[in-house]
Structures are given as C-alpha cells and as structure tokens.
Structure 1
Amino acid sequence: MIKKNIIKIGIALVLLITFTKTGFAASPNTNLLTVEPAYQDVVLNYFEKQKQLTYTITNNTTKKVILKAYAVDVKQNDFTGSIEFIQKDANNPYSLVTYLEVVDPDFELMPKEKYSLVVNVKNDDNLSPGGHYGAVLIQVSSPSEANPVVLPSLAVQIFLRKEGGDKPGLLLESVGWPNRLVWDIPASISLRFANIGNIHLTPYGRIEIRDQFSRLTYVGIVNESSLIIFPKTKRDIIATFRQTSWLLPFSLNVITIQGDELLHKVNYSYQRRFVYINLYAALALMAIIIFAVIKRKLLVSKAREIMQVLKPKRVTR
C-alpha cells in the first residue's frame, strides 16, 4: 500500500519535471531537494554489457534527510501522453525495471550536501532491441528527528534504446479538421499519431493552407513542444495556426500536412481539399439572392397586371 502511494506521488511529480534538465521537489526557487538530470535518453549498443548513469541529488534544506532510491517502470497512457509509474509487468515488452540496478540506494544528506547516485543499466540477451522505459524514484524515508521536514519524491526518467533491431514506425492516424465546407478556419487542430514501431518517436512537421491561386494563407508547426510518443501507443498533438495572408470570401483550398521523425527518417503526410465561405459574405449573398427572387416575383406579378390591362376586351354582339 505504501509503495502504491509512493508511485501515485511520482505520477504527479513526473508531469512537473518531464523532459527538463533538473528535477525538483517543488518550485526551483524553494529550498528543497533537487536532482540532475531528471531525464536521460540512453542508447545501448547491442554488445555493451552495462551502461553507468550518475545523478546528483542536492539537499537545499536546513535539515538532514534520509533517502531511499528504487526503480520502477514508466508507461505512457494513450491520447493524453501522461506518464505513469508502475511496478514490473510481465506483459509489458518495454519494461526496464529488471535491468536497472541502483547502487547504494539508501543514503542520507546533510544540509546543502550533494550525493552522486549511480544507476547501472544492465544488458543481456533477454533485453530485446528497441525501446525500454523506466524511472528511479527517490523517496524521503525518514525526516530529521527534530523539526521534521516533509518532502515529496523525486524522479528521474530513463528512456533506453537498444540498438540491433529497433524498428521505427509512425502514422498520422486522424486529423481533427472540419467538414468539406468551412465557414471559419479554426485556431488549432488536433493530430492523432500512432507509433507502430518498437522505439519512442518525436514527430515534427508543417501545416499549410493554400487557396486556388496557391497563396499561402495559414501555416502551423507540428509538435513545437517536442512531445514523445511511446511504442504501440497513440497521442494527440495540438497544432496552432498562424494566418499569413487574407482569405478570399469564397475559395477552394487545400490543407497539407507533411512531417517526419528526424532521427529515424520516418515520414508522414496528409492532404484534403475544402471550400471556404466567409459567413458574412455568405449571409450577404443569401440576402442578395432572396432580394432578387422577391423582386423577380414582384416584376412578374406587375407584368401580369399590365398584360391584363392591355389585353383587348371581347366585343359581344
């Protein structure tokens, strides 16, 4: 039960420190614990027996703290991309916890003291090529006896890529674009990517909207925040548009999305045609059409009245 609570604390924490160089127990301006680096992307050669990682934990408090470090697996939830710490799962092909060895996991830090935590990533034939994801949680196991200080967990994430069989695969599965007839260009759209390979990927790309005269009217950048997609998961990434030119009131347009994953040379593309009609212009056009129809009916009716007046009357004898 205690370990489950620790992992729940870690889930909240990892959202705070994900992909930053320094992890911290709260705001970096407060005097708490810090760990550096908080994230490492590790490449393991197929023939390497072991890789050593070192993390620096600093006690910025005025109290002595007793700490305990242990390894867990990292899982990415679909669509949202949120990170979850989990215990070893035999059904998880991307587990890393079995191959993480925390050297001297129990230690204490005096005020302002630093500690170098060593983590060994072990390699053997059971560690399959491709991506494996884990983390090391650093928990305050016992505060100082006098004037205890309450501190949350720290976490360091380890994203491992073992060479010798890594297979990248990326699909742009769906695009949250409106219908073929568009009254207004949205400020942003959602792109759902599917990682069908066995290593984590970071897709990038560009979105363009051009009218029938090939004028570039809107542009967007895909994944400006460098979000990562785990193997065999899907993730929604929001892309924001920036207008580059004025739109015609009525136009035939095409939206094009092209991108890749630079490290692994995986490409994706999307294209769709749509008609844009400015809502106010459409209302004005409808008003003109309705006015023209009504006027025509009035003219026809008036013409009939005139014809009735001019029509010669029959003379009866």
Structure 2
Amino acid sequence: MSRIVHRVSRIIGGLSFLLVSCLFIVPHASALTVHPAIQDIEIDPGQTETRTVTLENDEATVQTYVFSIQKFVPKGEFGQQQFLDSSDMSGLPEWMYVDRSEVTLAPGQALSLPITIRAPEDANAGGYYAALFLSRTQAAGEELAMLPRVGILFFVRVSGPAIERLILEDFATDSDSSYAHLPVGFRVSILNEGNVHLAPEGTITVRNAFGSTVAKLRVNAEGGNILPDSRRVYRVAWIKGPVPEGGGYWQGLLRELSNFAFGPYRATLELRGDGFAQPMRSEIAFSVWPWRTFVALVALVFAFVPFFFLAKRLAIMSATAKSDPLR
C-alpha cells in the first residue's frame, strides 16, 4: 500500500512540475529589425538611385529571409496602407532591384542591404509607392499565412511637372464644443488632389478669453504623408497631464483637477508646406467648464458657512461678556 501511495505521489509531483514548467515557458517570436523602415526618394526619369537598409537578426537562431514586393494604396483616413496583389508588378515594383533572392543571418548579425531603383526614361512625373517585404522561410509543417514579415515602405517621386494640391477640408474638435476638462482633441482633415505624396506641417494655437496663448500644438509632427487622391486626418490633443481612469463623480473631479482649464477658448490652425497655394488658416471656438469642481467648491462654501456664523456669534457673545461683566 505504501508503495502505491509513493508512486501516486511521484506521478502527481511530476505532473505538477510539468504544469508549472509550461506556465513559465515563453513562446519564442520571430524578430527582425529593419532600419530605416521608410524610404522617401526623388528620382529623375532614366536615373538610378541606390539606398541601403540595415537588417539585424534579433533571434537566437540562424534565420533565412526571402524578399517580395507589393504596391500599396491609401486605406482609411489615418495613413494606413492597403497592399495590392504581388502579381501586379507594374510601376515601381519592376523598377526595384535587390542583388540576391534571400539573405541568411546568424543570431545578432547585422547586414547592409543595397536596394536599387531604376526609373525608365519615359516615367511620368508623380508619386509611386511599394513595399519591400522580408519573410522568414517556411519551416516544415508551418502555415505560410502565419509567417511574420517586415516591410520597408518606399515613397518615390519622379521629378517633373507634378500636381501639388492640398485642400483643408475640416478643422474641428473631436466631439462637442464644450468640455468638462482636458484633453481637448482636434481633427485636421486634408485632401490631396495632386499626383504626389505630400507632408503638410502646421500649428494649432490655443488662446483664452483674454487673448493670451495657453498652448501651441504641432500638427503632423511625425511628418506623415498624404498619398495622391486621398485624405488624411491628423489628430492633435491639448493635454496637461495624465488622465485618471474610472467612472463616477470623484474620478471625474480628479480628471478636472489634473487637467484643469476654465472658460471660453479659441483655437487657430495654421498650415504650410508644398501643396498649399498660400498658408492656410482656420479658427474654431470651444469652452471648458469643470462643473464637478464648481460643485465641490459650492459644497465647501455651504459646509463652512454654519461654522463662520457660529464663530461670529461666539465672538459677539465674548465681546458682550467683556463689556458687561455683571451680565
């Protein structure tokens, strides 16, 4: 009987060890660092341009990567890309050359990879866009769709009489024109009606009711491009500090105190850069009314009013007693 108990104990102990071991196993993820991940190139028709990117294998094992090229077009309003089928090699993909079909990197190894672009003599002026992808080679039993890949985005402009035309479509706050506290979010929507990518820049200046500047915010500080025949929305926030999470009155009061603002404000947008015939300017009004703070102040006033009158009454009684000691 004792042997059976001993064996059962060993089995349970082994299973427990296996379970704990599984809980602490961290799955190994593929990692390849590429720098720079965005290439912005201007090239003349018939010209050849070579750029070098650095690849680094961050894994603990030898890895082999293969290349593929896909054109991309804008998707959505926030700078996303939609990659077209790799069978479409017209335009920029057929201009791009890599001097090898695959690359093998040892653990921690870095490699400089030259990428050449040869624009044909008859290339039309305008923008051309494609991504060079690096994918780890498929292992036995591994699904192709599950393979991670890293992309390098190429924004290529062929010089010539291109069309540069940006239109400011909208400048507004991201919700109502009245807030209880910061942050106040702004939306800047710009349409690119040209045939080249453009990266507008600008500022939003916030002034209070007295005309004093209380905040100056950069628009498109990251230099994000707007592709031809598309619009892009840039979001900018006026915020002073961390925003406490949670619902209820007290959490709301903490949000008002940590990001306090009060009264009417005016926000002035100024945009500049290629694509605008002249600097663009737009202005909107909004207000911040921290009502929870008002309620708290009123409650404090009403809480201290009885004590004030009581203290005043006691002071009068004390003064009367001193002036009339026989009373």
Provide the TM-score with structure 1 as the length reference. Answer: 0.62
CA distance in 1 between counterparts of 2:78 and 2:118 reads: 31
How much does 1:73 deviate? 0.9
For residues 261-315 of structure 1, the C-alpha deviation after alignment (integer angstroms, 9 at most, x for no partner) is 269886322134x4758586xx99xxxxxxxxxxxxxxxxxxxxxxxxxxxxxxx
Answer whether contact 1:167 1:198 (CA < 8 A) is retained: yes
Aligned pairs (5 A) from 1:125-136: 125-136=121-132
CA distance in 1 between counterparts of 2:208 and 2:108 reads: 61
CA distance in 2 between counterparts of 1:153 and 1:127 reads: 30
Aligned partner (choices 279, 282, 286) of residue 270 of structure 1: 282
Aligned-partner residue type, residue 72 of structure 1: Q
Q: Which residue is 2:269 aligned to? A: 257
Q: Which residue is 2:44 aligned to? A: 45
Q: Which residue is 2:114 aligned to? A: 118
Answer whether contact 2:34 2:53 (CA < 8 A) is retained: yes
Q: Does 1:194 align with 2:180?
A: no
CA distance in 2 between counterparts of 1:111 and 1:138 reads: 17
Secondary structure of residue in 2 paired with 1:104: coil
Answer whether contact 2:135 2:149 (CA < 8 A) is retained: yes
Long gaps (5+) in structure 1: 1-29, 285-317
CA distance in 1 between counterparts of 2:290 and 2:33 reads: 54
Q: Does 1:35 align with 2:34?
A: yes
Aligned-partner residue type, residue 139 of structure 1: S
Secondary structure of residue in 2 paired with 1:176: strand
Two-structure CA RMSD over aligned residues (Å): 3.9
CA distance in 2 between counterparts of 1:70 and 1:266 reads: 41
Secondary structure of residue in 2 paired with 1:63: coil
Q: Which residue is 1:303 aligned to? A: none
CA distance in 1 between counterparts of 2:152 and 2:239 reads: 36
CA distance in 2 between counterparts of 1:34 and 1:68 reads: 15
Aligned pairs (5 A) from 1:1-317: 32-48=31-47, 50-87=48-85, 95-143=91-139, 152-177=148-173, 182=178, 187-210=184-207, 213-241=210-238, 247-248=262-263, 254-261=266-273, 267-272=279-284, 274=285, 278=289
Provide the TM-score with structure 2 as the length reference. Answer: 0.61
Answer whether contact 1:211 1:254 (CA < 8 A) is retained: yes
CA distance in 1 between counterparts of 2:165 and 2:277 reads: 10
CA shift in 2, pair 1:254/1:152, >3 Å: closer
Answer whether contact 1:37 1:55 (CA < 8 A) is retained: yes
Percent sequence identity over matched residues? Answer: 20
Aligned-partner residue type, residue 74 of structure 1: F
Q: Name whichever of 208-217 and 99-108 sits farther off.
A: 208-217
How much does 1:233 deviate? 0.9
CA shift in 2, pair 1:89/1:166, >3 Å: farther
Secondary structure of residue in 2 paired with 1:97: helix
